[in-house]
Chain A
C-alpha cells in the first residue's frame, strides 16, 4: 500500500483521504481546523473538476474549498 502525501487539490473524485498537514499562516490553518479539517480527520472528495473549487465531505457536511486553499492542504489517500 502506497500512501503518498499530496495536496487536496490533486486528489480525484470519490476518494477518501486523511488530513495530514497544512502549509500556511496561523489564521489560515486555524480557520480550516475550525471547519473540521484537523490532522487525522478523514474526508471524502465529492467533486474535483481540477479547475474550480473542491467539494469535500467532512464531519458530516460538505465544504466547498477554493483551489488555492485546497492546494495548501496536504492529505494522504486512504485505501479501503
Chain B
C-alpha cells in the first residue's frame, strides 16, 4: 500500500517541535534537508552491528561493512541511471566532486587559451574551482548570460561555447532562482565543439528524476545531505573513459594497487579516488536516503513540490511590496523561491520569520555574481521538500504579511 504524500512528514521527528513558541515550518531545504527515521536508523544499525573498516579486513564485520558500502554504489548508479557502478565515486559533497573534476581532469586537459564556460546562475562551488583552474592554466572563464526572468539564454550559450571550449559546467537547477537548465541541449552544444559537459546536481538530484545518460553529461556531482542523507557524503559520477584517464588527487591507504620504494601503481576508478578511510556511515546513510526516495518515487516528489509552488508563487506575488526573483510562471519554477520585501533587508526579514517559526535562508546564497546580475545585495529564500505541505506554504505567506506590518507600522 503506497503512502500518501502527507503521511511522510511523520517520518521526520525534527519537524515536530516549536521554535520561538511557534510550530516549526522548515523552508531551508536548499541548504540541507531533514533526515527521516529510516536514515538515522540505518546509521545507528551500522554502528551498533556492523562497524568495521572496509576493503581490508578478513573478519566478518569487515566483510559486512564492505558489502553494505559497495552495495550503495549500485543504488546510486540505479538512482541516477549511470551505466556502471564503477563510475560512482564517493566524495564528501558536490563541492568536492566539482573541485576534483577541475583539479584532476581540468589540470590534465585544459591548456592556455582554452575556454571554460559556466553561467551567471552558478553557486560558488561551480564557479571558484573553474576560476582557479583558469588562473593556473591560462584558460579563459566565460559566462552564459540569462534571460530577464533568470532562465539560461540559449542564444548566449551558442555564442559562448566555441571550438576553443574545453569544459562547460552548469547547474541543473538553480539554488536561487528556481530555474531548471536544459542540460541535454547544452551538452549537445558542448559535444559539437569537442567540450565536456559537467553538471552540478546539488539542487536537482533531491527533487526530480535524474538520468545522467539521457542528459548526456560527462560528469555529474551531487551531495547526500540535500537528499536526506547525512552531511559529508556525496557522489561524483563520471564516464568510465574519463575517470580512467584522471590522476587521483589524494594518495595514501586504500587507493593503491602496489607500493614500492620509489613508485606506486593505483587501483582502478572509482577506488583510486577514495584514498584513506571513507565516510562509511555516511555512505550507509546515503543508501538509506536513496531507498526512502525510491520508495516514494521521484515523480511523486516532483509533483508534490510543484503543487506547493503552484500555490506559493502566485500567493507571494500577490503581496504588495514582494519581489520574487526568477520566472513568475509556476511551471518554470522549481521549489526554490527567492524574494525580497520592499525597503527591508532580507536578514531582517529572516529574523522576523524565525520569530514566527519559519526557517528561511537570507544572504547571497553562495552566488555573489548572480546577486550582482540581479542587482541586489542579498535575498530571502524559501525552499521546499517532500515533507512540506500547504499549511507550511500558507504560514510563510501569513508570516511575510505580519513582517511587513511589523516594520511598516513600527508597532514598538
Q: Do A and B bind each other?
A: no
